Chain A
Amino acid sequence: MDMTLPRRRFDTLIIGAGGAGLNAALQLADSGLRVAVVSKVFPTRSHTVAAQGGVNAALANVLPDSWHWHMYDTVKGSDFLGDQDAIEFMCREAIPTVYELEHAGVPFSRLDNGKIYQRAFGGQNQDFGGPQAARTCAAADRTGHAVLHALYQQNIRAKTHFFDEYFAIDLLRDEEGVALGALVLEIESGDTLVIEAKTTLIATGGCGQVFRTTSNARINTGDGMAMALRAGIPLQDMEFFQFHPTGIAGKGKLITEAVRGEGGYLINGNGERFMERYAPTARDLASRDLVARAIVTEINEGRGCGINKDYVLLRVDHLGEEIIAKRLPGIRESARIFAGLDPALEPIPVFPTAHYSMGGIPTDRFGRVVVPAGEGAEEVVPGLYAAGECACASVHGANRLGGNSLLDILVFGRAAGKDIIDYIKENPHHRPLSEPSLERAVAHLDRWDHQPEKKPAGKGKAKPAAESSVRELREEFRKVMEDHAGVFRTPKSMAEGVKQLKAIRRKLRGLRLKDQSRVFNIARIEALELENMVDVGMAIAVSALGRKESRGAHSREDFPVRDDRQWMKHSLYFREKDRLEYKPVRSKPLTVKGFPPAERVY
């Protein structure tokens, strides 16, 4: 064992300081456990801060509502691929979770009676598919910011140990598969540190950076997902990637669905409200997969706006100055900065943008990571948890509803926290660190620490390791993903995508860093992130090629309809040999009757 590496020991390690990680940390620190939270950026810089529209909970503050209707909408929204036990759990827990957040200090917008303001969002209805509901609890259009800051603040109070700007390299597991913590890199000094823990929670968020045009921050590179893959754990349902209908055209920056919830609508080049044709009842508030496809179809059929007819317009101006100033101030700011216009006066040019990963590390509803154990059975990976966008519980199935992700991260972050408390009661001691596991992790990092190989003199043709074009390869990779795993998929293009990804994977192995310094070496971090992105990108592409049907966000030309007989099952991608397995959907809720698959109309 490498005795030179410094070590720290905690009861529990949380990788990620977004909403999922911080809500788990709060439960744990308040219960008196020693909690380490590792984050590659200062906690409030985590991408939860960017969430705009709000978080769903059937509080019924504005219109009648019930968790059971919320559950129905979520099952339907998932195109019946969501696990109904986890969905029931999430929709029930939504209500106390939002109250708890409010008590923690989140500055929610308010109704005249002093209760939390709730707005309409897509895919939400009263009475099992009846009239539009208003279920999304909002702090103006800055809900994520309000939630993340409040959770960070409460964690300061609870004395959580923060490792800010530490980058997790790899998970540590012993021979029996038990999670032991992680190897992390302090970005400021370039030093490595082993964090040993009785339980490890992966809460590293999404991977939207794998696509070229995205609403996601630079840090959303799927690190936790890739760490899981390297530790032998599969990723579930990765073919389901959500393209949000309204990104600012050409930029990808998000314009929240709250804009349509507040009454905004889309028009095409002919000035037509085209959503009426695709979703006669819900129109602009149909679910996201549908709206995104409608926009791309309009443009493909020549009805886009602008000189190149390559976007559609989102109208808001009719809402009036007051609503825009009060309910959508952040959007107005974004539109001004990135589209150079005031939405109170002019419509915003929009195009779908890569937004959210429905898939992720497979877990049960307690946040415990589960893996196949042969013959359809599953087993828990002892001591290992995952929550938030990097995990797949699976509550979003093939398509996530707006406002359900903040909910997911908070509910399952909290649930994981609670389960960890029980686990540590039963397993109160640290296990010995596994040498091979640590060696593998160290080797993974060291691989970037070698000097570029010098060209042997005279032999110009001998292939030297490519020097440091991490940036170029990154851009090449993101373009491949965009071209071959986007909103509409064809078998030919997907197969080509997988081929190109394999080539990129090979090129990546040959890359070396020019900058070998230690202190705040961004190039090294980006290289590690690129490795993670390529692993995750491959999971998406291979899973997409494997699923021969269209469901939710996964839409294929050659299999245009949903096929419940053969495909009502989750995919599991393993990094080893790019292998796929499948497991059944859990269609039985906890207490109520299950919702059988039905045609999805909005």
Chain B
Amino acid sequence: MKFRVYRYNPETDQNPYMQGFVVEASRGMMLRDALLAIQDQDESFAFRHSCGEGVCGSDGVNVNGVNKLACVTPVAELRETVVVRPLPGRPVIRDLVVDMSQFFTQYKRVEPWLKHRDPLPEQEITQTPEARDKLDGLYECNLCGCCSTACPSFWWNPEKFLGPQALLTACRFLEDSRDQAAEERLDALAGPYKLFRCHSIMNCVEVCPKGLNPTKAIGQIRARMLKGSL
């Protein structure tokens, strides 16, 4: 199977270039296996990966123009020649490895931890199964960054617009019946940029390997803001 992969080593390359590799495809082969096979041919080829099962979020890459997690992408589903590039819009460190610090900064800006203000009970804070169900589709995010790096608004305003991932996380805490900081969280999202730069283009939804829906989460936050302002 033919691959073209993005290469850039800041120590030796003036400019990035695309390099061709041929990998023997096997049954059930995932893109990550193919990238490992490329590494067998050239140990200087760099990409991140770890769990191999879609939970750690390490190996977001851009394949034939779409962001995907390599380890859960069967090569059989990919059109040849498979073109593999780093996630778009982020500074490239080397080959497929990008600098995700801005993405994590935005995540941290939504203060992604539970804020329960009442004194804590001796046992668990109770939560009904229905209230818990509201977290499904929000908490499973693995911070792979496929969504935010596919979002045009994030490309243009990575400092000001929080991006789909961070907003999904904000929604995860807003929807948690145990969290007691909704007002403060909503206030922090006000203004023209942090949230409102989202134009519901839905790129984020299309690429999320966990099947999550950041656009819907953003809509939920908007609805809350609206309700608050009435």
Which A residues are closer than 8 A to B by beta carbons? 41-42, 44-47, 49-50, 59, 98-99, 102-105, 107-116, 139, 142, 145-146, 149-150, 153-154, 156-157, 188, 217-219, 251, 253, 330, 333-334, 337-338, 340, 468, 470-471, 513-515, 517-523
Contact = CB atoms under 8 A, between A and B. Distances in A.
Contacts of A517: 9, 11-12, 44
B10 interface: yes
A111 B56 contact: no
A477 to B, nearest CB: 16
A162 to B, nearest CB: 10
B142 interface: yes
Interface residues on B, range: 35 or more
Nearest to B135: A107
Q: How would you classify the secondary structure of chain B's contact residues: helix, strand, loop or mixed?
A: loop
25 contacts: A41-B50, A42-B100, A45-B58, A47-B50, A49-B56, A50-B55, A98-B124, A104-B114, A105-B176, A105-B178, A108-B124, A109-B132, A110-B126, A112-B128, A114-B127, A145-B142, A153-B112, A156-B112, A217-B52, A218-B49, A333-B54, A471-B43, A519-B93, A521-B44, A522-B39
The 6 closest A-B pairs by CB, nearest first: A114-B126, A105-B114, A153-B113, A515-B44, A523-B43, A45-B56
A350 to B, nearest CB: 15
B123 interface: yes
A113 B125 contact: no
Contacts of A142: 55, 140
A47 B72 CA distance: 17
A363 to B, nearest CB: 26
Given A153-B114, A154-B113, A217-B52, 4 more contacts: A44-B143, A49-B56, A522-B45, A523-B43
Quick one: which of B111, B113, B129, B131 has the most chain A CB within 10 A? B113
Nearest to A95: B123
A49 B128 contact: no
B54 A337 contact: yes
A353 to B, nearest CB: 12
A482 B225 CA distance: 57
Interface string B74-99: 10000000000000000001110100
A45 B52 CA distance: 11
B159 interface: no
B93 A145 contact: no
Contacts of A42: 58, 100, 104, 143
Contacts of A112: 128-129
Contacts of B100: 42
